[in-house]
Amino acid sequence: MSAQTLINLVTGISAGAIRIVDLTQPLHEHTPLLSIPPEFGQSWPFKIEEISKYDDRGPGWYWNNFSCGEHTGTHFDVPIHWVSGKDHEKNATDTVPNEAFIGAACVIDAVADCQANPDFLVSRDYLMQWESKNGTIPAGAWVLFRTDWSKKYDSDEFLNNREDGGHTPGWEPDAIRFLADERNVKGAGVETVGTDAGQSFIQDPQFPCHNLMHGANKYGLAALCNLDQLPATGAVVIAAPLKIENGSGSPCRAFALVPA
Ligand code: MN
């Protein structure tokens, strides 16, 4: 590769031939949190507290303290997050290979199916149909599940909790096996609070995207937005977790480079 390739990239961005689409939701005190049964440990909600703001606590500067769980808002899941991925090498936020941070995007548009059924699950066949229109999902791709669920972020419909748990879209186990084993993707990105369906605790295996993706040493991106601004193929996703030592994930800034 010539140095010109990277120069073309930055001149393309400054000339507007390549657009940057932010895929990240804002972090604030109402950032939706996955609800898990009370007998399990719970994730801290996002909290922010002002240290000073050009005042007697600090006359020349503004800064804050914040706290939250690793899996808060738009965030990056690494393999150590799941018991199935705990023995992989380089499986934590500080050790994942740098190649994890950039990948081609394949955007699976399932908006109509998810509007019709909030419990919609992507099947292996669904992915094969996508491939028949858009080409084979390349190795190392980020497969992004477009549901438009991100547009519900500020409403109860985002978590869509009922008495029997959340009702949000996800994946059939065979779809994840196909992506991980037959397509060797980088991982799966979703617009919902976590990478699995709201009802994934009744799937077999439970939480198939977590179980099988991390079991295959692959990654996840949750609570993405603006997937409606991406083409089915041709965009590049850039996202990286904070370098927390032995961390299981972290809020991240995720964005895409899109040909204009
Ligand atoms: Mn997560």
Rounded Cα distance between 215 and 86, Å, is: 8
34 CA to middle of ligand 1, Å?
9
78 CA to middle of ligand 1, Å?
8
24 CA to middle of ligand 1, Å?
14
Rounded Cα distance between 233 and 237, Å, is: 11
Rounded Cα distance between 170 and 176, Å, is: 10
The candidate with the shortest Cα–Cα distance to 257, out of 6, 17, 24, 7, is: 17
183 CA to middle of ligand 1, Å?
22
Instruction: Using the predicted structure, report yes or no on whether residue 103 has a pLDDT greater than 90.
Output: yes
118 CA to middle of ligand 1, Å?
20
The active-site residue, picked from 28, 30, 75, 81, is 81
pLDDT band at 35 (very low <50, low <70, confident <90, very high): confident
Measured CA distances, 147 to 2, 3, 73 (Å): 38, 38, 17
Give the pLDDT mean for 195-203. Answer: 97
Instruction: Using the predicted structure, report yes or no on whether residue 2 has a pLDDT greater than 90.
Output: no
Give the pLDDT mean for 82-108. Answer: 98
Extract the tokens encoding 208: 């198939």
Q: How many other C-beta atoms are found inside a 10 Å radius of the C-beta of residue 109?
A: 18
Q: What is the largest CA-CA distance in the chain?
A: 63
162 CA to middle of ligand 1, Å?
21
Are 206 and 173 a contacting pair, CB within 8 Å? Answer: no
State pLDDT tens for residues 130-185.
Answer: 999 999 999 999 999 999 999 999 999 999 999 999 999 999 999 999 999 999 99
Query: Mean pLDDT for the chain?
Result: 97
201 CA to middle of ligand 1, Å?
15
Rounded Cα distance between 213 and 200, Å, is: 14
Output the pTM of the full model. 0.97
CA 89 to chain centre: 21
What pLDDT score was predicted for residue 1?
76
Least confident stretch, 30-39, 94-103, 144-153 = 30-39
14 CA to middle of ligand 1, Å?
34
To the query of whether residue 81 is one of the catalytic residues in this protein, the response is yes
